[in-house]
Amino acid sequence: MKIQSVKGAVDILPEDIGLWHFIENKTREMFESFGFQEIRTPIFEKTELFSRSVGEGTDIVSKEMYSFEDKGDKSLTLRPELTASVVRAYLQHGLSVKEPFQKLYYIGPMFRRERPQAGRQRQFHQVGVETLGGSAPGLDAEVIALAARFFNSIGLGDIRIVLNSVGMPQSREKYIELLKESLLKEKETLCQDCHVRLEKNVLRVLDCKVATCQPVIEKAPQILDHIDDESLAHFEKVKACLDQLNIKYEINPRLVRGLDYYTRTVFEISHSALGAQDAIGAGGRYDVLIGNMGGPKELGATGFALGIERIILALKNKQKVVERISPFVTFVSLGEEAWTKNYELLFQLRDQGIYAEMEMGDKSLKSQMRSADKNQANYVVVLGTEELAQKEVPIKNLKTGEQEKVALDKVEDYLMQKYKEAN
């Protein structure tokens, strides 16, 4: 039997790689233009890093982590997200002391043992940013603005941004008590999953999609009415910054997010071209995580992560055709001598960083022209014995149909010039 990939771990084939490069390139371009610098951390970490930051009671830690025993009984985990790893690296390398204000971004694979479906995988990829060492509301609005601009730049400007504030831990604790009290009054109406949530992580009840739970949830107290005054003022300022930047958002007082480290601002970004898994990105502020992980207590932080698979799904569903890699020039050869000359030209252009192709085997003129067309080359150079004798070769622009005769020793210069003009 042929060996297949692991369930939920997906190959990215060449037909899609253009989309991946497009998103990765845009990420670097946009994130760096906002002053973020890339950080790369290991794929696996000590398990306690995630259980202590993301939280024992969360779905990620309690059900979804790929954890394994290393030699010497150390439990290691494939990273389910990167905020915790970034904070660990920030503290481990003394950045919190040397230069506490850091703007970092990342691109890479994450691992969660979820039930696979369209847009939900067990190995998936995120791009994300973390602004560490700052508590100002302008920073929350800055990362949201970056996400909005990023989506705009890739043709997904029609995202929906949903915002809420979960306050600081003390006010949240009090709110959780109130919420539990209210939900317990109608426990019988709630679904079985919510019964478990009532015990383990009451806030998750607010996320429940089961119809019979909705009237109970609607009647329950809302977190925004119970957060501390400072957090409320912070939230007002975040909204004012977003208004100033003309960024559209909605407030959802039920949005609490599934990770324990959040304080104050939380947000989710969704897109209508996705199905059930419509969260294309999410993030928020985490002002106590650096302190809880052994760093200075006063250092706040905020950030987001976007799911690349979901971005690609949305682009495909919207039928946005994104750059496909096509050769700039294709060489067509008639006869052995022409083939040898073309082979030389091919590598001269490649050495200049231009993507050039040619048929390596023995194919008819018709078949070579057909593949030049199919590969959507910009230019085609057709070289035969006659052209070699006259030391002049026709170069055709396949996009406009125009053709020019170029001296054989000027082919490289000519194509280089055209390449510069096109880029």
Count of CB atoms situated within 10 Å of the CB of 119 = 20
| Residue that the structure tokens 């910054």 belong to | 241
What region does 119 belong to: left with phi over 0, alpha with psi -120 to 50, or beta?
left
Q: Which is nearer to ligand HAM, 55 or 281 (CB)?
A: 281
Q: Which is nearer to ligand HAM, 280 or 398 (CB)?
A: 280
Amino acid letter, residue 81: E
Q: Is 124 in the site for ligand HAM (CB under 6 A)?
A: yes
Residue nearest to ligand HAM (CB): 307
Q: Which is nearer to ligand HAM, 193 or 207 (CB)?
A: 207
Which listed range, 27-35, 98-106, 118-126, 166-174, lies at the site for ligand HAM (CB under 6 A)?
118-126
- Pattern of binders to ligand HAM over 286-315, x per CB under 6 A? -----------------xxxxx-xx-----
Q: Is 134 in the site for ligand HAM (CB under 6 A)?
A: no
For ligand HAM, the binding residue among 79, 88, 103, 112 (CB under 6 A) is 112
Q: Is 120 in the site for ligand HAM (CB under 6 A)?
A: yes
For ligand HAM, the binding residue among 134, 137, 284, 295 (CB under 6 A) is 284
> What are the b/e assignments for 160-184, b being 16+ CB within 10 Å?
ebbbbbbbbeebbeebbebbbeebe
Q: Is 168 in the site for ligand HAM (CB under 6 A)?
A: no
User: Dihedral through CA 39, CA 283, CA 127, CA 64, nearest 10?
Assistant: 100
For ligand HAM, the binding residue among 114, 207, 228, 278 (CB under 6 A) is 114
* Residues in CB range of 13: below 8 A, 6 or more apart: none
Cα 385 versus chain centre, distance: 52
What region does 5 belong to: left with phi over 0, alpha with psi -120 to 50, or beta?
beta
Among the listed residues 318, 322, 5, 274, the one whose alpha carbon sits nearest the alpha carbon of residue 119: 274
Distance between CA atoms of 88 and 268, rounded to whole angstroms?
24
Q: Which is nearer to ligand HAM, 315 or 332 (CB)?
A: 315
CB of 262 to ligand HAM, least distance (A): 7
Q: Is 27 in the site for ligand HAM (CB under 6 A)?
A: no
CB of 121 to ligand HAM, least distance (A): 4
SS3 235: helix
For ligand HAM, the binding residue among 55, 128, 137, 167 (CB under 6 A) is 128
Which listed range, 30-38, 121-129, 198-206, 324-332, lies at the site for ligand HAM (CB under 6 A)?
121-129
Q: Which is nearer to ligand HAM, 305 or 398 (CB)?
A: 305
If you count DSSP H runs as helices and E runs as strands, how many of each does the chain have, helices first? 16, 16
Cα 356 versus chain centre, distance: 30
For ligand HAM, the binding residue among 280, 346, 354, 358 (CB under 6 A) is 280
Which residues are 269's β-sheet partners?
161, 281
CB of 404 to ligand HAM, least distance (A): 49
CB of 272 to ligand HAM, least distance (A): 14
User: Residue 60 carries which DSSP code?
Assistant: I
Torsion angles phi and psi, residue 14, rounded to 5: -50, -30
User: Residue 58 carries which DSSP code?
Assistant: S
Amino acid letter, residue 118: A
Distance between CA atoms of 26 and 28, rounded to whole angstroms?
5
Strands 102-111 and 37-38: parallel
For ligand HAM, the binding residue among 45, 130, 287, 387 (CB under 6 A) is 130
Which ranges of 201-302 does DSSP label H, i.e. alpha helix?
214-219, 229-244, 289-292
Q: Is 220 in the site for ligand HAM (CB under 6 A)?
A: no
Torsion angles phi and psi, residue 40, rounded to 5: -125, 125
Q: Is 121 in the site for ligand HAM (CB under 6 A)?
A: yes
**Binding-site size, ligand HAM (CB under 6 A):** 24
Which listed range, 31-39, 113-121, 145-153, 247-255, lies at the site for ligand HAM (CB under 6 A)?
113-121
* Footprint (CB under 6 A) of ligand HAM, residues 50-109: 81, 83
CB of 204 to ligand HAM, least distance (A): 13
Which listed range, 31-39, 111-119, 155-163, 351-359, lies at the site for ligand HAM (CB under 6 A)?
111-119
Q: Which is nearer to ligand HAM, 190 or 313 (CB)?
A: 313
User: Dihedral through CA 256, CA 257, CA 263, CA 268, nearest 10?
Assistant: -100
Binding-site ranges for ligand HAM (CB under 6 A): 81, 83, 112, 114, 119-121, 124, 126, 128, 130, 279-284, 303-307, 309-310
